[in-house]
Amino acid sequence: MTASADIQAGRLRPDDYVENFNDVHPPLDRKRALIESARCYYCYDAPCVEACPTGIDIPSFIRKISTDNVKGSAVDILTENIMGGACARVCPTEILCEGSCVRNTQEEKPVNIGELQRYATDHLFDSGQQVFERAASSGKKVAVVGAGPAGLSAAHRLSLLGHDAVVFEARDKAAGLNEYGIAAYKVPNDFAQREVEFILSLGGIELRCGQAIGKDFSLTELRRDYDAVFLSMGMAGVNALGLENEDLEGVVDAVDYIAQLRQSGDLAQLPVGRKVVVIGGGNTAIDIAVQTKRLGAEDVTLVYRRGKDNMNATWHEQEFAQLNGVKIKHWAQPTKLMGQDGQVKEIEFEYTQLDDNGRLMGTGDHFSLLVDQVFKAIGQSFVPAPLMNGAADVLELSSGRIAVDEDRKTSLSDVWAGGDCVTGDDLTVAAVQDGKVAAGAIDRHLRG
């Protein structure tokens, strides 16, 4: 990334970077965990369990915290969601388990399920204990493509069931979006890699980083060399604005910038503009907006083409961005990028509205914002080309992603898939569930 007079590194004091990217939610101590766990009604047929994509028995793990059985609580969580530590930090609990809590009323707040989950899983990770044990070896070996939440979940469950798993990852590190795509203040202190180490410590899982499908091996070769294949490559494509001058300096893909930020050893070396505009309405848009503000940007505006209720980012994330000084402007879409000497300087927007049929349309009224950096956060897309490279049989696609049945089985008899390459949900907990479900189906397939 090239720095200019208006895009510079080192805008803050060294201590500011530490404070701004420290843990956004300090963990509960034992006293506060016991008090919070006592608020749970331990409901029968608890709605919070129904709202959890991985089906964690939430009343059970909270009751164990209340009796100081923290290890047992963590086992309850990780049995259903092996990445429960990450999900406790990044899951939109406000619309899932906590949103369904019977205490979530106008008079009181829901039980803080996410922080209690973190309390239990952190306690186990800090102890260094491995609480799971593999079944007897089946002699079968499964290839897993992608070491994100879906792939790691599948590999761990397959290993538990006695199968060996070889996980191929195109990047240098495992953990997927938890390592490269989540805001740094949500998972500080290298937590994503600590969680990977815990998963791999079970044994029976071989991780091969720097290995990409379509480049270093093909789907046909995996089907030939392994007893089954699980695909979980995520979404490699980044949607474009489709505007002229999109190649101007300062027009940046948000996901690339966040990945660079997450891998930076010194945030003071990361250039950021004074005036920043973010285009999008999802979690990535919120994360890049808040992080640029915390890197020292003076003015950050997030612009979304529809209303606040249409944003993919939850109300909690939207409020968090505004509390961090991000301005959110709704009902506007970008129409023109303008620059000087190859550097973006201004972006024009058109106000939008819904027509009588509920379709988005421009109003013909425009406004402009001066800008040093424009971050594109309008979604990602699945890139199927690597799967087709050298493939004898072609996977069936649906809506641009891999088509699967309820067991996450694809159109090929020995290939399963899960995570964003199937759903596009960009949700860690949903990807973990995909991996778990697929592993169970693969196990049944391998055992005939």
Residue 135 lies in a domain: no
At residue 75, the 3 state secondary structure works out as helix
- Distance of alpha carbon 300 from its chain centroid, rounded? 23
Residue 1 lies in a domain: no
Residue type, 219: L
Tokens of 337: 């990028």
Other Cβ atoms closer than 10 A to 434:
30
| pLDDT value at residue 148 | 97
Residues 206, 87 share a domain: no
Residue 30 lies in a domain: no
Residue 26 lies in a domain: no
| pLDDT value at residue 390 | 62
Kind plus residue range of the DSSP H or E element containing 187 = none
Residue type, 176: G
Q: Looking at 285-340, which runs of residues are DSSP E strands?
A: 299-303, 327-329, 332-340
Residues 375, 254 share a domain: yes
Query: How many CA atoms, within 13 angstroms, populate the side-chain half-sphere of residue 254?
Result: 32
Residues 156, 217 share a domain: yes
| pLDDT value at residue 11 | 96
| pLDDT value at residue 424 | 84
| pLDDT value at residue 303 | 98
Residue 132 lies in a domain: no
Asked if 366 and 390 count as a contact pair (C-beta separation under 8 A), the reply is no
- At which of 360, 379, 398 does a domain end? 379
CATH number for 408: 3.50.50.60
Asked if 309 and 278 count as a contact pair (C-beta separation under 8 A), the reply is no
At residue 300, the 3 state secondary structure works out as strand
In the chain, the number of structural domains is: 3
- Threshold 0.85, pTM exceeds: yes
Residue 62 lies in a domain: yes
Residue of 431, 390, 445 lying closest to 231 (CA atoms): 431
Asked if 302 and 285 count as a contact pair (C-beta separation under 8 A), the reply is yes
Residues 363, 252 share a domain: yes
Residues 372, 246 share a domain: yes
- At which of 127, 155, 186 does a domain end? 127
- At which of 127, 153, 180 does a domain end? 127
- Answer whether residue 30 shows pLDDT above 90: yes
Asked if 248 and 373 count as a contact pair (C-beta separation under 8 A), the reply is no
- Band of the pLDDT at 393, cuts 50, 70, 90? confident
| pLDDT value at residue 385 | 87
Average pLDDT score over residue span 2-6? 62
- Answer whether residue 5 shows pLDDT above 80: no
Residues 229, 242 share a domain: no
Residues 345, 265 share a domain: yes
Residues 151, 98 share a domain: no
| pLDDT value at residue 136 | 97
Domain encompassing residue 71: 38-127
Burial class of 335 by CB neighbour count within 10 A (0 to 12, 13 to 18, 19+):
middle
Residues 371, 249 share a domain: yes
